Chains A and B, each alone.
Chain A
Amino acid sequence: MNHELLDRDGALVVVLSGDVDLDSSPEARRVLLDAVARGRRVLVDLAGVTYIDSSGVASLVESLQGARKAGTDLALVSVSEAALRVLQLARLDRVFTIHATLDEGLAAG
């Protein structure tokens, strides 16, 4: 898994790519929680994520809760069909705000 942090239109964009699995999700969790701790709106771009397992989704959930507690927002953008199915299975598609594209996510802020 790789990650990149972008500063775009007042939002912090966390770009994840590759496989987010049991081996790499601790790093994803650290990156996401660090981003949330900055107190700004966070967009998590999943366009380059080839696979995300439950530990990766759990990291997203924990980060979302962290953002809510901090009074900020975290949304997902460019969620693949496979990742969306995993979110839907646990009905998390009703919990996360999901934008089709990064531009859409930025515009929603």
Chain B
Amino acid sequence: MTGAAPKKDRPVVIEVHDLVTHYGARMILKGVSMEVRDGEIMVIMGGSGSGKSTLLRHLMVLERATSGTMKVLGQDITQLGLRDMIDLRKKLGVAFQGGALFSSMTVGENIMLPLYEHTDLDPQTMRIMARMKLEVVNLAGFEDLMPSELSGGMIKRAAVARAIIMDPRILFMDEPSAGLDPAVSSALDDLILRLRDAMGMSICVVTHELESAFKIADRITILDRGDILFIGTPDEVRAHPSERIQNLLNRRAEDDTIDPEEYLRRLTGDEPLRNAAL
């Protein structure tokens, strides 16, 4: 963006400090701290079970943490009442992994749904907005189709159209490239970059697709077993000497090290001996 401040100097839109979260007695995030800046694409990566999807759900303000603090667009989410939370969520767009389109609604109705929920706009304004977003995601003319008539890539793009219908300040995308062929995936990456550049939005993407991550990311957060392993630019990640990071990049994230106690618990389903009180 011409004339814009360097991304490292831009305001912080998400600030997470020492976030700890559990599912039942199991600790998923073990004190995660990170920031997302205005207008940057932050890619969150990690192996299976690293906590990346859990972190994304917290960033989307969908879950409460066990402890730690989180500010989104300057607001401490632990202090927000229901009305302020609803107002905050209007500024966040979410494209879920499977698209999460309602099968009983047309594509256009799906895309307009947030407008019907949160605004009193004239129906014609809504229709024009939906068609504009379909144009942006290259689905012009598909508004009257049902989701079942779309391909996987088209469903992903329709989900993006719905996620950006309210011009969110922050867009969250969970595995946008999953299940797509390389050409379709690459086109989706280009769309993500265009959204950042044209709309200036911050975008948080969880992905395990390395090629996509390095193409779109301003910075990459690498999670490992609920901890932050590293946060840096794609070049910094590539050059990092850590064996664990390089294993991840070489798709050998599931390494051979085993915590015998944790492994035994996983197999037996027993409660952990520590952190059991929750």
Q: Which residues of A contact B (CB under 8 A)?
A: 22, 25-26, 29, 53-55, 57-59, 61-62, 81-82, 85-86, 88-92
Q: Which of A26, A53, A58 gathers most chain B CB within 10 Å?
A: A58
Is B136 touching A55 in the complex (CB atoms < 8 A)? no
Is B133 touching A54 in the complex (CB atoms < 8 A)? yes
Is B122 touching A29 in the complex (CB atoms < 8 A)? yes
Is A61 touching B132 in the complex (CB atoms < 8 A)? yes
Is B198 touching A55 in the complex (CB atoms < 8 A)? no
Other-chain residue from B132, B165, B197 in contact with A57 (beta carbon distance below 8 A): B132
Can you list 16 A-B pairs with a CB-CB distance of less than 8 A? A22-B118, A22-B166, A53-B167, A54-B167, A58-B128, A82-B200, A85-B197, A85-B198, A85-B199, A85-B200, A86-B198, A88-B198, A89-B136, A89-B198, A90-B132, A90-B135
Is A89 touching B194 in the complex (CB atoms < 8 A)? yes
Dominant SS among interface residues on chain B: helix
10 cross-chain pairs, A with B, having the tightest CB-CB distances, nearest first: A58-B128, A89-B198, A90-B132, A53-B167, A85-B198, A58-B129, A58-B125, A90-B135, A54-B129, A61-B128
Is B121 touching A90 in the complex (CB atoms < 8 A)? no
- Interface contacts (Cβ under 8 Å), in number, total 56
**In this complex, what residue of B is CB-closest to A59?**
B125
Distance in Å: Cβ of A30 to nearest Cβ of chain B = 9
Bound complex: CA of A82 vs CA of B3, how far in Å? 11
**Does any Cβ of A come within 8 Å of B181's Cβ?**
no
Interface size on B, residues (CB 8 A): 25
**Does any Cβ of A come within 8 Å of B48's Cβ?**
no
Is A54 touching B165 in the complex (CB atoms < 8 A)? yes
Distance in Å: Cβ of A58 to nearest Cβ of chain B = 4
**In this complex, what residue of B is CB-closest to A61?**
B128
Distance in Å: Cβ of B135 to nearest Cβ of chain A = 5
B residues in contact with A59, CB < 8 Å? 125
B residues in contact with A29, CB < 8 Å? 122, 125
Bound complex: CA of A57 vs CA of B125, how far in Å? 9
**Does any Cβ of A come within 8 Å of B270's Cβ?**
no
B residues in contact with A55, CB < 8 Å? 119, 121, 125, 129
Bound complex: CA of A58 vs CA of B126, how far in Å? 8
Is A81 touching B122 in the complex (CB atoms < 8 A)? no
**Does any Cβ of A come within 8 Å of B257's Cβ?**
no
Give chain B interface residues in 220-272, CB to chain A under 8 Å.
none
Give chain B interface residues in 88-132, CB to chain A under 8 Å.
118-122, 124-126, 128-129, 132
**In this complex, what residue of B is CB-closest to A91?**
B135
Is A62 touching B199 in the complex (CB atoms < 8 A)? no
**Does any Cβ of A come within 8 Å of B2's Cβ?**
yes
Bound complex: CA of A62 vs CA of B119, how far in Å? 18
Bound complex: CA of A61 vs CA of B125, how far in Å? 9
Bound complex: CA of A22 vs CA of B164, how far in Å? 13
Is B199 touching A86 in the complex (CB atoms < 8 A)? yes
A residues in contact with B167, CB < 8 Å? 53-54
Is A62 touching B198 in the complex (CB atoms < 8 A)? no
Other-chain residue from B121, B135, B198, B200 in contact with A25 (beta carbon distance below 8 A): B121
Distance in Å: Cβ of B210 to nearest Cβ of chain A = 28
B residues in contact with A81, CB < 8 Å? 2-3
Bound complex: CA of A58 vs CA of B122, how far in Å? 10
